[in-house]
Structure 1
């Protein structure tokens, strides 16, 4: 298992925007916490989407394959931090762009070609064949033993500086965009309860 990829957003860094929100919501019980946690959760969702899109732009993986390796730990009123976490082991090479897709054993022998990154062409994978939806590689000159061929794990890919920086930037921008809206929503919610 690769080391998990994590990006965190928290209210630990005091900003002018957060100070302004805290002032605006000071008379509303848990108003600040509600507004901040909602904005953080929006930011985390946007961060996960950015991670999927950025990896998809660089690697030949399907978006659904990438997305299932990411989870979000949501912020709450009691915990003002949200995390985007990428976990997983190395991916079977067949999940990247490969040719052919059908079995290459017996009379259907063809060379197996693989493309992991979009900016590189397909490369021939020596001593390999496709069998029952898996790419297998021979470990010697004989037919057996064989092992399944794997490509890089999602946490390893996501740790790339460009990808992690993009996720972090998207999360910070989304949080900055959402916090005022969520503060306004908390104020309206409080007014409605007072009237109701």
Structure 2
């Protein structure tokens, strides 16, 4: 994951002469799996998580018409059509930091 994405989620409230307290707060929504160095493979998508690369079977990387790129899986049941698809998300920065 890029350092800029992590830095954006942190806010620092600095100490003052009146308040001798520093606060570091992490905020943010879940992060798309495409940001975890995702690569398309023959059996799915390989992503780089904390403990090394993992394969997400039956997942695929796609670009939408508006230019958005993501890792998706088909969310329909057995024997369903090609749609709908669902984008995959990983943990948010506050969850990962905790």
- TM-score category, normalised to shorter length: 0.7 to 0.9
| Structure (1 or 2) with the greater strand fraction | 2
Please name the residue that 1:135 is paired with.
71
Aligned partners of 1:90 and 1:121: how far apart in 2? 19
Tell me: CA distance 1:112–1:93, structure 2 relative to 1, closer, same or farther (3 Å): same
CA deviations over 1:103-133 (Å, ceiling 9, x no partner)? x9xxxx873222212x32332x233221112
Q: Could you tell me how far apart the structure 2 residues matched to 1:77 and 1:84 are?
A: 18
How many residues are matched?
Answer: 90
Does 1 or 2 have the higher relative contact order (CA < 8 Å, sep 6+)? 1
Q: Which has the higher helix share?
A: 1
Partners of 2:44 and 2:87 in 1: how far apart? 16
Q: Which residue of 1 aligns with 2:52?
A: 120
Counterpart-to-counterpart distance in 2, 1:146 and 1:120: 26
Higher radius of gyration, 1 or 2: 1
Gaps of 5+ in 1: 1-60, 160-196
Runs of 4+ in 1 over 3 A off after TM superposition: none
Q: Distance in 2 between matches of 1:122 and 1:158?
A: 20
Structure 1 contact 70–84 (Cα < 8 Å) conserved: yes
Q: Could you tell me the TM-score, scaled by structure 1's length?
A: 0.42
**1:18-167 alignment runs, 5 A limit:** 61-100=1-40, 111-117=44-50, 119-123=51-55, 125-132=56-63, 133-140=69-76, 141=78, 142-159=81-98
- Structure 2: runs of 5+ lacking an equivalent: 64-68
Query: RMSD across aligned C-alpha pairs, in angstroms?
Result: 2.1
Q: Tell me the TM-score normalized by structure 2.
A: 0.77
